[in-house]
Amino acid sequence: MLRNFKGLDTPMNGSYLVAFVSLATLITMPPVQAQALAFRLAHGESQLIEQRFTGGEKITATCNEHCLDLDLYLYDIDGNLLSKDTELDIAPTLLAPYDDDFLLEVFMHNCTNPEGCTAQVHSQQESLDSLPSE
């Protein structure tokens, strides 16, 4: 039999257990910073965005059904390339290496719509447990 948090002899109801576990999870998770941007790009066009990211922040670009390939490039504020995702996909992903202002280039490698494709950039801080260890 599960006992309540204070150790009393009252059995703990399952819903209280879920609430307690959920609350404990919320308390131990790091703060989440999320950002989102949307814009249109034609085939071969790119958008350069100056944005502040925190170390470990996951940056993902996505696009609509007319998009066949989208690429991401992350530069430091001086224009030095730090990271890129140029795989043939429509959801490239990068991690910010440290806290700072960056230049993020979103390149529409292949869009089948002559009026352009809608691209979106989302970012969210990853929990420390999900970051690769060195």
* Mean pLDDT for all residues in the chain: 76
What is the bridge-based pairing of β-strands 57-63 and 117-125? Answer: antiparallel
Q: Identify which has the larger pLDDT, 88 or 132.
A: 88
List of residues 6+ apart from 112 with CB closer than 8 A: 43, 66, 67, 68
Cβ atoms of 66 and 117 closer than 8 Å: yes
Q: What is the pLDDT of residues 60-109, one digit of tens each?
A: 999 988 999 999 999 999 999 999 999 999 999 999 999 999 999 999 99
The residues pairing with 61 across neighbouring beta strands, listed in sequence order, are 121
Q: Are strands 34-41 and 117-125 parallel, antiparallel or unpaired?
A: antiparallel
The position carrying tokens 């989440």 is 32
> Over 50: is that where the pLDDT of 6 sits?
no
What is the average pLDDT across 105-114?
Answer: 94
Residue 63's beta-bridge partner residues?
Answer: 119
